Structure 1
């Protein structure tokens, strides 16, 4: 049997152990230089292991995921957030719009009560008309300010506006207090511009101008003065206020038509340019 001295064997093993230790140290040093965060990751893993030992596997899994578990939304979280953010139909702005719609038939009844010329009934009709016009000023402001805009409000609000104004004008003309051509000009303009907005909505939205807002205010004041039974100089004043309202109605209507034409031309030009770029 070939014998190897114990001292030689020990020396050889020691040499091999030293070589292995040096190699391991070199690899560890290289890894440490290549990935400075390795010790930090190892520390986190140790902390996670410790957490697992203290709190159990489930808590360890939560700890292993870091802050993601706290940040990650629950299943269906986006849908729930959308449902919360969407304004309810029964908000204060829509309720004011509904009130205007309810006031329309009430206004007509009061306007025609007592033959249509009773000052007391006409005063009550004026009160209903005034409430409708005041709510018209507030519901849109509230909807925009407090994010209460809904699809119902977008449709019902312009309908309520045109309904109360149209009912007042038709009743006044039917009673002979206002010429039919005035009613035709105002209602024709309102319905025409509304239709025009829908026709060009694919190209953009025609914003309400200052002239349009002034027109609405002047119309409301003029019609309200005609609803009341006025005589003397007040009757003369209401005539001129209505004249101003008619002029503003025509002028702003033409301005909206001009804006719609420009908006449509820009939209068509932009679509053609985009098509050329996509083909090119």
Structure 2
């Protein structure tokens, strides 16, 4: 019988509200980007207190990247806004930090270029194959993100010698991991597209 509860269609889950905890944290990270930039400029990468403030702001903003994603998945708060705004906020924060470090001659421009080209390239790859599936973040990608955050934070914090010399080594590991994972994502995207078209 059509009225039998056993054969009735399951009720549709309620739509996820746009205004939720995960999206609020993502929006907060976007707001923190210009605040972070202002602090670095105020420090001129010389003033100790401003460099510490910039480093702490960068670290807190980076932490929100892990928090908003966990909240969205844990409590079913994934939205179209979050899917778009989250990577934009990530790239804006990392990109601003790298450009500023290169601007103040703390980081070679080619390092900034390699990382930014990889980040933008992987984002475009994800959009390119989105009709065939989602390229999930790999373990290597998470290691890459952690190394980038650690390296940038190390450059920002006013470490004395010889501790300040550790930063370039962390950044070197970040660059290698960034390039390797970029190649991995490219191969995964090509395989996904080829399999879907076949």
Superposition TM-score, scaled by structure 1 size = 0.66
Number of equivalent positions: 193
> Pick from 104, 115, 127: which aligns with 1:175?
104
Shift of 1:229: 1.9
Q: Structure 2 unaligned runs (5+)?
A: none
Q: How far, CA to CA, are the matches of 2:23 and 2:194 in structure 1?
A: 35
Shift of 1:231: 2.7
Q: How far, CA to CA, are the matches of 1:191 and 1:120 in structure 2?
A: 32
Is 2:92 the partner of 1:163?
yes
Is 2:162 the partner of 1:233?
yes
- CA RMSD after TM alignment: 1.7
Q: How far, CA to CA, are the matches of 1:259 and 1:231 in structure 2?
A: 42
Q: 1:117 is paired with a residue of what secondary structure?
A: coil
Quote the residue 1:197 is aligned against.
126
> Pick from 185, 189, 196: which aligns with 1:260?
189
Alpha carbons of 1:232 and 1:204: their partners in 2 closer, same or farther (altered >3 Å)? same
Q: How far, CA to CA, are the matches of 1:204 and 1:107 in structure 2?
A: 35
Quote the residue 1:142 is aligned against.
71
Shift of 1:237: 1.4
User: Once superposed, which parts of structure 1, at least 4 consecutive aligned residues long, lie more than 6 Å away?
Assistant: none
Is 2:150 the partner of 1:221?
yes
Shift of 1:116: 3.5
Deviations 1:175-211 (A, max 9, x none): 1111101100001100001001111112221111100
Deviations 1:55-86 (A, max 9, x none): xxxxxxxxxxxxx5999x9xxxx6xx55xx22
Q: How far, CA to CA, are the matches of 1:70 and 1:142 in structure 2?
A: 34
Shift of 1:117: 1.6
Q: Structure 1 unaligned runs (5+)?
A: 1-67, 270-280
Quote the residue 1:116 is aligned against.
45
> Pick from 112, 116, 125: which aligns with 2:54?
125
Q: How does 1:54-93 map to 2 (within 5 A)?
A: 82=13, 85-93=14-22
Q: How far, CA to CA, are the matches of 1:193 and 1:70 in structure 2?
A: 47
- Could you say which structure has the higher helix fraction? 1
Q: 2:64 is paired with a residue of what secondary structure?
A: helix
